[in-house]
Amino acid sequence: MPQTVFAPWDDPKETPLIRFEGVTKRFGDFTAIDNVSVDIFAREFFALLGPSGCGKTTLMRMLGGFETPTEGKIWLGGQDIGRTPPNKRPVNMMFQSYALFPHLSVWENIAFGLRRERLDKDKIAARVEEMLRLTRLQRFAKRKPHQISGGQRQRVALARSLAKAPKLLLLDEPLGALDAKLRQDTQFELVDIQEKTGTTFVIVTHDQEEAMTVATRVAVMDEGRIVQISTPDKIYEEPQSVYVADFIGDVNIIEGTASATGPETYAITWGEGRPPLIAQSQRSFSEGQACSLAIRPEKVAIHAQEPEALNRVRGKILDIAYLGNLSTYHVELAGGQIVKAQEANTRRIARRSFTWEDEVWLSWSDTAGVLLAE
């Protein structure tokens, strides 16, 4: 039986839960969001990724109702919510600072939103208990926010924002305040809770690893625009611009000029006296067009002797970054360019075959890199 893949964005019959339609937001002269159009589907875990100041938080705050778009429309379930105040939309937000009410207990914090709906006491109690169970906080129900740890606070914030069963949950850098180990566990917990509740999540983050771990799709933003929306694997393997390739993970960028040598195959000239590099590309380039070849370090192999490979370059090891499980070799080529190659440390460090100042060969296949125009 074929497994159905969750990909509503590929299904033209699917209607999106949220639709940004040419949304622009200006603060005075500054354009924070520049004509953004994007569809987000129900049950998605959608990540807005970008460096600080790229507009990702503004975009999220417009979904929450804390900013109104200067131009364009925001649709939520077929309704224009551009000017609906935050308390009138079926959207809840988990704040970066968690924004837990310090004068209320964990229980009262979670019940806060439910009480505003004037529900029955029993119903509120039942819902709060359910949320406490979901986030494993039963033991701390009576504590005040400053009486619990950072990780527990994060879970209270999540429980509080999920209590009203919103159509859409916004998470603003939800794991920013946690330490690395706790962060990893919490990422998986978030995905788990998202799947259990079936809520649509939109997360804002500047941490690409976090976005890749949790999201069904990632939107990479730069200066108020979305530069690419794709699934995490496609963002990583098939970036559409040097900016995206560079922002997501580690990458070697080799600049040159392209000339076609066959169907979807190009030779890249990248400096006098060097053999051209061969790369396959579905994107077409004209003769002599400037291009950038982006290759991930883990797709570059390192050898002591000249290998039998389509693309091979010679250089000297300048630096070795030892990361425990991996080592990244910074290899300086003849022209001064540095290419990074990554190898898994399958042997003990004492047995490592390369060291500083070694002359080595680097190689990669014609499908290892992505040829980019910009």
Which residues in this chain contact another protein in the complex, by CB under 8 A?
64-66, 85-87, 91-93, 95-97, 99, 101-103, 112-113, 116-117, 140, 143-144, 146-149, 151-152, 160-161, 164
Lookup: tokens for 81: 């919510």
Parallel, antiparallel, or unpaired: how do β-strands 370-372 and 289-295 relate? Answer: antiparallel
Q: Is 269 helix (H, G, I), strand (E, B) or coil?
A: strand
Q: Which is nearer to another protein, 153 or 206 (CB)?
A: 153
Q: Which is nearer to another protein, 145 or 239 (CB)?
A: 145
- The distance of closest approach from Cβ of residue 136 to another protein in the complex, given in angstroms and rounded to an integer, is 13
Q: Which is nearer to another protein, 144 or 303 (CB)?
A: 144
Using a CB cutoff of 8 Å and minimum separation of 24, what contacts does 34-40 make?
34/223, 34/224, 34/225, 35/71, 35/72, 35/225, 36/72, 36/224, 36/225, 36/226, 37/72, 38/219, 38/226, 38/229, 39/9, 40/16, 40/200, 40/202
Asked if residues 320 and 332 have their Cβ atoms less than 8 Å apart, the reply is no
Q: Which is nearer to another protein, 112 or 243 (CB)?
A: 112
- The distance of closest approach from Cβ of residue 176 to another protein in the complex, given in angstroms and rounded to an integer, is 13
CA 232 centroid distance within chain? 7
Phi/psi at 221 (nearest 5 deg)?
-115, 150
Q: Which is nearer to another protein, 84 or 280 (CB)?
A: 84
CB atoms within 10 A of CB 309: 15
- The distance of closest approach from Cβ of residue 224 to another protein in the complex, given in angstroms and rounded to an integer, is 21
Give, in order, the Cα–Cα distances in Å from 64 to each of 83, 94, 167, 235, 302: 11, 10, 12, 26, 49
Asked if residues 302 and 343 have their Cβ atoms less than 8 Å apart, the reply is yes
Q: Which is nearer to another protein, 117 or 272 (CB)?
A: 117
- The distance of closest approach from Cβ of residue 90 to another protein in the complex, given in angstroms and rounded to an integer, is 10
- The distance of closest approach from Cβ of residue 72 to another protein in the complex, given in angstroms and rounded to an integer, is 22
At residue 323, what is the residue type? L
- The distance of closest approach from Cβ of residue 164 to another protein in the complex, given in angstroms and rounded to an integer, is 7
CA–CA dist 295, 245 (Å, integer): 9
Q: Which is nearer to another protein, 111 or 227 (CB)?
A: 111
> Which residue from 245, 237, 302, 314 is spatially nearest to 274, judged by alpha carbons?
314
- The distance of closest approach from Cβ of residue 101 to another protein in the complex, given in angstroms and rounded to an integer, is 6
CA 361 centroid distance within chain? 33
- The distance of closest approach from Cβ of residue 31 to another protein in the complex, given in angstroms and rounded to an integer, is 19
Q: Which is nearer to another protein, 22 or 86 (CB)?
A: 86
At residue 194, what is the residue type? Q
